[in-house]
Amino acid sequence: MTATAIRAPHARVQHGPGRRRTFRRRHALTILGFLAPAIVFVCWFTYFPMLQGAHMAFRDWNLWDLTSTPWVGLANFATIVSDPVFPVVAGNTVVWVVGSIVPQLVIGFLVALALWRRFRFRGLYQALVFYPWAVSGFLVGMLFRWMFNAEFGVVNDLLMKAGAIEAPLPWLAEPRLAMVAVITANVWYGVTFFAIMILAALQSVPDDVLEAAAIDGAGTVRRLFSIVIPYIWTTLALTVLLRAIWTFNSPEIIYAMTAGGPAGRTHIVTTWMIEYTQQGSYGLASAIGLAVMVVLFVFCAFYLTAIRRVNQR
């Protein structure tokens, strides 16, 4: 028996380039087959309506006369900008986002600091604090609508018993009070998200660094501003940006509490879009929706850029 015959059973089988390409093609087709239902679902229920809405934004599309939907170009956008309600809606949107994010950040940070410390039944307290995030935003709006009711709402009752007011306040009927009421509801709803994200970041702060700072004589406040906040600064910035995107695009609380009233004084861009939809002006509503998509795209671009820079560090 020759040496070649002896080594033959142990020789490694060599596959040619054509066989490797066939295997890769079959592997890719298998993966595509598993992903196909999800791809079809997303395209049909997300991207197709989005493209259809973008198309409707440039047409005179009215529900009450679908026989004529002429192309009007940028006329729908001009109509929206020239509407006397537009400055009010734009201002309300800024107040809604900023007035919601700042208290959520501050209160959520304080809650996360409180939950960061080890104490008895901490897990139970965390579950109670994080529970509101699982509740529907529309349901939160309905609950706060009853709480801010002028006749039998619990908010007026508590304020009157505390001596802060002498008569019930029309929270949802007076424009300034209505905006305060909806922002209060959104703050209560969003504090949980900030607490979850900040607590996760706080748990990554090295204990040995904090202990070394304490040994060097740094107090609690000094350690907070010199070590803790700089260490979790990236998480804070990304959380604020992500929550700003959600708040800008979340009409459910306002719609459940005031539906944009009184007299449109609590309208933001998304609730204003819903109002046009209810009126059957699908062209104008689609124009607002397309503008919202552009703004959200800019926010998302900033968010993804920030994440990429963080991952490159």
Q: What is the pLDDT of residues 253-290, one digit of tens each?
A: 999 999 888 888 899 999 999 998 888 888 999 999 89
What is the C-alpha separation between 16 and 19, in angstroms, rounded? 5
Mean residue pLDDT of the chain comes to 85
What is the C-alpha separation between 154 and 184, in angstroms, rounded? 14
Q: Give phi and psi for 65, each to the nearest 5.
A: -150, 80
Looking up tokens 């010199």 gives 226
Q: What is the pLDDT of residue 4?
A: 47
Which three-class secondary structure state does DSSP give residue 168? coil
Q: What is the pLDDT of residue 5?
A: 46
Question: pTM value?
Answer: 0.81
- Proportion of the chain above pLDDT 90, given as a percent: 30
Residue that wins the pLDDT comparison between 24 and 153: 153
Q: Is the dihedral of CA 108, 109, 113, 116 positive or negative?
A: positive
Residue that wins the pLDDT comparison between 58 and 217: 58
pLDDT at 3 over 90: no
Alpha-helical segments (H) within 203-251:
207-215, 220-223, 229-231, 233-248
pLDDT at 99 over 90: yes
CB atoms inside a 10 Å sphere around CB 17: 7
> Cβ distance 223 to 210 under 8 Å?
yes
Q: What is the pLDDT of residue 293?
A: 87
pLDDT at 8 over 70: no
Q: What is the mean pLDDT of residues 117-124?
A: 77
Q: Give phi and psi for 149, each to the nearest 5.
A: -60, 135
